[in-house]
Amino acid sequence: MKRLIPVIFFCLLWISACREPFDPDLKPTDLTVLIVEGYLDTEGLPSTLKLSYSRNIKTEDDFTPDYPGAIVSLRSESGVVYPLTDLGFGEFEFAHDIPEDESYRLYISTNDGKSYTSDLLKPILTPDIIDVGFERNEQGAEIYLTTRGDENADDFLWTYEETYAFRPKISSSFKYDPELNDVVTRNQDERTNMCYRGSVSSDLILETSSRFENQFVFRQSIAHIKQGDERLSVRYSILISQKALDSKASEFWEILRRNTDDIGSIFSPLPSNISGNIKNDQDPSVPVVGYVSLGTVKQKRLFVDVRDVAPWIADVPDYYNCFVEPDTVLAADYGLSFGGGSFVPVVPIYPENGFAPIGYQGAIRRCTDCTLRGTNVKPDFWED
């Protein structure tokens, strides 16, 4: 056995040395495929259809997405046309309250002279979300929902948008005014000690209600926030959208989810091989990736306060090595120290029995200004 080990090692070394990278001779245009995705709400809730072109596997990391210009509309079998509004960057908004007892087709005419048509779309009525909530555990916080399917809605797709409030490591209510050559208090619209950030999740969360007794989906996991995540450092909001799918749409999204989860695996289906419900009118054999659904979208919003998950200590790498400088910047040096904007007045220093500060201790702006990472404008839906 000991004599066999060197032989095996030599063989493996020889095999690895003879391997050459496979670099297929493919033109970039060979891999340009139109991607269509969207779930259009039938009750007037603004919803978005997205158009884009697939990325060539040979493109560089600094690849810039390519979005087609297009005219997009939904047309009923009775001939009524509902145009979608072009928002730019491949996004088209649908905001029409349409009859749900009719069938429809989506029509896309791109600026390169090509046209695409969807299969016949029948609206699906999505049941209401029964409840949303969260559970604190050792790993963090789990966001969940409860719903129930019916004879018309068995398969579900959930998407969500997150928004959270956060504070910088060091709070400051002051700024340097070059015209006055003095430190003044910031106005409310200039505040840098409370900001908001938001994002739309790209996760594909799917479930079939008939797998459960009475089609009752109890505490379906939607999002997990790890312990110490900044999203729960002040106040967090999640808007969950529930969308019922037909069986073909469910199959499409499940394949796409697996492809996303298994990216890089030779057993994953290539995106261009995933069939959808959009066809090229000029040549039906041309691959088109995407699936468009039509139906009602049900939404529910949840707020979670840091007090609800206490103790919760946020660990934010952006605020590492943040501290207030111990030396006091005197009034005569305000312009020199604070005039450049990278160093900010934080703590006023008062003389004994005095009412006016003689100077300020400061900190670098990165540690005090949350607008470098978010916006200080409170969202319209926000509840304190």
- Write down the pLDDT at residue 62: 58
What pTM did the predictor assign?
0.85
Separation between Cα atoms, residue 343 and residue 90, nearest integer Å: 41
Q: Specify if 370 maps to a domain.
A: no
- Write down the pLDDT at residue 263: 55
DSSP code string of 292-338: EEEE-EEEEEEEEEGGGG-S-----GGGTT----SS-EEGGGHHHHH
Residue 144 phi, psi dihedral angles, 5° rounding: -140, 165
- Write down the pLDDT at residue 40: 98
Q: Specify if 372 maps to a domain.
A: no
- Write down the pLDDT at residue 56: 55
The three-point CA angle 140-367-186 to 5° equals 115
What torsion, rounded to 10 degrees, do the Cα atoms 110, 116, 121, 124 define?
-40
- Write down the pLDDT at residue 255: 87
Q: Specify if 356 maps to a domain.
A: no
Query: In the 8-state DSSP scheme, what is residue 375?
Result: B
- Write down the pLDDT at residue 66: 82
Q: Specify if 178 maps to a domain.
A: no
Q: Is the dihedral of CA 222, 226, 229, 234 positive or negative?
A: positive
Q: Specify if 282 maps to a domain.
A: yes
In a 3-state reduction of DSSP, which class is residue 63? Answer: coil
- Write down the pLDDT at residue 353: 85
Residue with the two structure tokens 């090692």? 9
Q: Specify if 147 maps to a domain.
A: no
**Residue numbers of the domain that contains 112:** 30-123+250-298
Number of domains in the chain: 1
Give the rounded distance of the alpha carbon of 285 from its chain centre.
33
Q: Specify if 113 maps to a domain.
A: yes
DSSP code string of 72-109: EEEEETTS-EEEPEEEETTEEEE--B--TTS-EEEEEE
Radius of gyration from C-alpha coordinates of the chain: 28
Per-residue pLDDT of the chain (384 residues; tens, 9 = 90+): 444 434 334 444 443 444 444 344 444 444 578 999 999 999 999 999 999 988 655 545 555 678 899 999 999 999 999 999 999 999 999 999 999 999 999 999 999 999 999 999 999 999 999 999 999 999 999 999 999 999 999 999 999 999 999 999 999 999 999 999 999 999 999 999 999 999 999 888 999 999 999 999 999 999 999 999 999 999 999 999 999 999 999 999 998 888 767 654 434 455 556 679 999 999 999 989 989 999 999 999 999 999 999 999 999 999 999 999 999 999 999 999 999 999 999 999 999 888 899 999 999 999 999 999 999 999 999 999
> Which residues make beta-bridge pairs with 329?
360
Q: Specify if 292 maps to a domain.
A: yes
Residue with the two structure tokens 């995407």? 290
- Write down the pLDDT at residue 60: 54
- Write down the pLDDT at residue 26: 41
Residue with the two structure tokens 């090595």? 321
- Identity (one letter) of the amino acid at 10? F
- Let me know: does 175 contact 340? Beta carbons within 8 Å: no
Separation between Cα atoms, residue 250 and residue 146, nearest integer Å: 19
